Structure formats: structure tokens, C-alpha cells
């Protein structure tokens, strides 16, 4: 039987080793994400981003003309995996790197590219996504935030909700309705708007994910110009579909699941063999699911590299990886309940498992609910039959 090789070759292995060394040297052992109650955690992430940018590692696969190194999508995939496995020390920067920047490259004007891409590549700017609204979360195309013509620009009013990082972001990738058509997907437009504008008000939503993650955004008669329109007016839905395909595969959730599952036997030591046989069987099954999710991610990455982005493929990966997030968390919580002693490795593993469980609870809702992912996949399968 041939063994599946996930290594991606010597170059990727060297990059993986380099990233792990940088994380070990520059990220504190107790770091569990940039969005905690401790503002120092955000400072750690911002400093780490700038360090990666100085070494050309933040936007590794971007073209050199936009501040990248022109590396392969597989090398960028290594970066995604190592970052997510270690509590995403880039903080919110992954959003600009994974899809805001590439979308501006494909749809933005030269002026938009000159203005927005260099700060992202240098790790200096945070973006948020103005998509979901009250009553228009999973059914995004039904949104009611409206942009009306005002001379040579637009006036935007409405409300967004569940907007991650809105309290710290400098820019927002905002979707609004500019006209009505026969289908609700028609007449939507993407705007690039500064969060510092007085027409924008942000109200945090407290949740177990911690501060900064979830927010309400109120847009009150916000004045924008045509220069802030990304792509073509009324054609924003096509841009959003592309964005969601890249966003959903851009977070390598399986990497953290696999890292924690692999650590479990080492941390438990002699107690591992005393675990119930059924629990160890479930542990092994979760490792198999990790590899399945990884393969689905690689399939989508390969298709994107060839210019073929299909929502159904991204939806299939998203279904697999978000359910993995939750099922692996349940198994890990049970395993962690058998920890004994107060040694540092056990304490840290327990905290990591708790953190993983907390984040997993929102996995099947964020970036499009799992029900919507199943609908997307079903539609594509029916269309192909």
C-alpha cells in the first residue's frame, strides 16, 4: 500500500521549519490569539505581522509587484497551516492577505491597488468585512443596506452585524444595494470604506469568543465616491462569490485540530493506554477526518491556482472542516478530562483544548452557515447532473 505524502517537498518543509522557529522565538507560549481581553496580545500579532512582512513571508504568494515574493500557492498554504495551528499569530491580518488583497488585485483600479495593497503587504492595516445584516446573514443577497446616488458619489445607510474586528479595523470591505433587479443577487456593489469615517459607528457584541470578534456596525449617511467602488456598480455579487470561495479555504482549521490530536498521547504519557478503548477509537477517527479535510483544502487550492473557483467545492471543504472543528473539540475535551498532575505541558494542553472548543462552537455559522454550504453544494451537484 502506498503512503499518502502531505509534505509538499523540501522547499515547503524548509519553510514550515522556518515558520515554526519564528513562532517559537517571537510568540509567547501563553499566546492564544490576538483578540483576548489583554491588549498586549494584539500588539504581539501586529509586531509578528510586521516581522513576517520584513522577511517577505506575510504575503508570500503575492506577485512581487504587489509586495509579495511570487511564491507558489502551496507555500502560502504552508503559511496558512502553521499560522492557524499556532493560534493565528497574524491576528486579523489573514483577512487582508487571503482575500481582500487578492480581490483588489483582480477587480481594483490601479489607484486602489496602489493605495491598499502596499499597507496589507507590510502588515500595517486591518480590514473587516461588512456583509451580514440582521435578518440577512445566511441569505446574504437579501441585505438592505442601501447606497443611493448623490452627485458624483454615493450615500450609504444601513446596519451590519457579526462584523469581526470592526473595533480595530482601519478599512471595511462593504457590500450594499445600489439598485433592484429581478433577482436579489442583482444590484449589489462593493465599496472600500474607511472605518474612521464619522458616518460609521461600531458597537461591540460581547461573546465567549472574546472582545473584537463580533460587532454591530451602523452606517449613517456615509458619503463615498466612485473611486471607492470595487469592480462594477451593481455587479458586486460576482465579486462576493469569489471572495467567499477564497475566504472559506483560507483558514486551515484542520491544522490546529491535527496538532492538538497528535499532542494528546504525548501529554497524557502512561495514562494514554488507560483511556477507554472507544475514546481512543474516536481519536483515531478524528485524525482520519483531519487528513480528509486537508485533502479537500488542497483540491480547492489547486483549482484556484488554475483559475477555476467554484462555490460548491469551497462549500464541500467548509462543511468537512467546520464539522471536524466541532467533533475534534468534543473528543479533545474528553481526553483532557483524564489529565493528571499540574505540570506545565498538561496545563498548556488543557488551555489549548478549551480555546479550541470555544472557537469551534461558531465554526458552522461563521462565513456562511453549514446549512447554506449544503444548499450551495446541492445546487452545484444538481446543475451538473
Catalytically active residues are 247
**For residues 8, 14, 18 and 21, what is the CA-based torsion angle, rounded to 10 degrees?**
90
Beta bridge partners of 224: 154
Q: Is 149 left (phi over 0), alpha (psi -120 to 50) or beta?
A: beta
Give the SS3 label for residue 178.
Answer: coil
Give the SS3 label for residue 274.
Answer: helix
Cβ(321)–Cβ(368) below 8 Å: no
Cα 205 from Cα 272, distance rounded (Å):
40
Cα 48 from Cα 252, distance rounded (Å):
19
- HSE toward the beta carbon, residue 80, CA cutoff 13 A: 26
Distances (CA, A) of 181 to 137, 177, 223, 241, 321: 20, 10, 24, 18, 35
Cα 49 from Cα 36, distance rounded (Å):
17
Residue among 108, 99, 86, 100 at smallest CA distance from 16: 86
**For residues 291, 292, 298 and 300, what is the CA-based torsion angle, rounded to 10 degrees?**
-160
Cβ(108)–Cβ(230) below 8 Å: yes
Residue among 79, 80, 59 at smallest CA distance from 252: 80
Beta bridge partners of 202: 217
Amino acid at each position: 500500500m502506498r503512503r499518502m505524502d502531505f509534505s509538499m517537498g523540501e522547499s515547503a518543509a524548509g519553510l514550515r521549519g522556518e515558520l515554526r522557529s519564528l513562532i517559537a522565538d517571537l510568540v509567547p507560549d501563553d499566546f492564544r490569539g490576538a483578540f483576548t481581553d489583554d491588549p498586549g496580545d494584539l500588539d504581539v500579532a501586529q509586531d509578528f505581522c510586521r516581522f513576517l512582512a520584513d522577511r517577505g513571508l506575510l504575503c508570500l504568494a503575492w506577485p512581487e509587484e504587489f509586495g509579495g515574493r511570487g511564491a507558489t500557492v502551496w507555500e502560502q498554504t504552508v503559511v496558512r497551516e502553521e499560522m492557524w495551528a499556532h493560534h493565528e499569530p497574524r491576528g486579523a491580518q489573514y483577512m487582508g492577505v487571503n482575500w481582500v488583497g487578492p480581490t483588489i488585485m483582480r477587480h481594483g483600479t490601479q489607484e486602489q491597488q496602489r493605495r491598499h495593497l502596499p499597507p496589507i503587504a507590510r502588515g500595517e492595516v486591518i480590514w473587516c468585512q461588512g456583509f451580514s445584516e440582521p435578518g440577512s446573514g445566511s441569505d446574504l443577497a437579501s441585505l438592505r443596506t442601501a447606497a443611493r446616488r448623490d452627485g458624483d458619489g454615493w450615500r450609504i445607510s444601513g446596519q451590519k452585524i457579526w462584523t469581526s474586528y470592526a473595533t480595530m479595523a482601519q478599512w471595511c470591505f462593504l457590500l450594499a444595494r445600489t439598485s433592484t433587479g429581478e433577482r436579489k443577487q442583482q444590484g449589489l456593489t462593493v465599496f472600500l470604506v474607511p472605518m474612521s469615517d464619522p458616518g460609521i459607528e461600531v458597537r461591540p457584541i460581547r461573546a465567549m469568543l472574546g472582545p473584537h470578534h463580533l460587532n454591530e456596525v451602523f452606517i449613517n449617511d456615509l458619503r463615498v465616491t466612485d473611486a471607492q467602488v470595487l469592480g462594477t456598480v451593481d455587479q458586486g455579487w460576482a465579486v462576493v462569490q469569489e471572495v467567499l470561495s477564497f475566504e472559506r479555504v483560507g483558514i486551515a482549521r484542520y491544522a490546529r485540530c491535527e496538532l492538538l490530536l497528535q499532542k494528546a498521547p504525548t501529554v497524557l504519557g502512561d495514562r494514554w493506554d488507560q483511556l477507554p478503548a472507544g475514546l481512543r477509537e474516536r481519536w483515531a477517527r478524528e485524525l482520519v477526518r483531519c487528513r480528509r479535510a486537508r485533502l479537500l483544502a488542497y483540491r480547492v487550492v489547486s483549482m484556484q491556482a488554475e483559475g477555476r473557483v467554484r462555490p460548491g467545492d469551497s462549500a464541500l471543504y467548509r462543511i468537512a472542516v467546520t464539522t471536524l472543528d466541532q467533533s475534534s473539540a468534543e473528543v479533545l475535551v474528553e481526553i483532557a478530562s483524564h489529565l493528571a498532575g499540574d505540570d506545565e505541558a498538561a496545563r498548556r494542553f488543557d488551555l489549548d483544548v478549551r480555546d479550541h472548543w470555544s472557537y469551534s462552537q461558531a465554526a458552522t455559522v461563521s462565513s456562511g452557515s453549514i446549512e447554506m454550504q449544503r444548499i450551495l453544494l446541492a445546487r452545484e451537484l444538481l446543475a451538473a447532473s
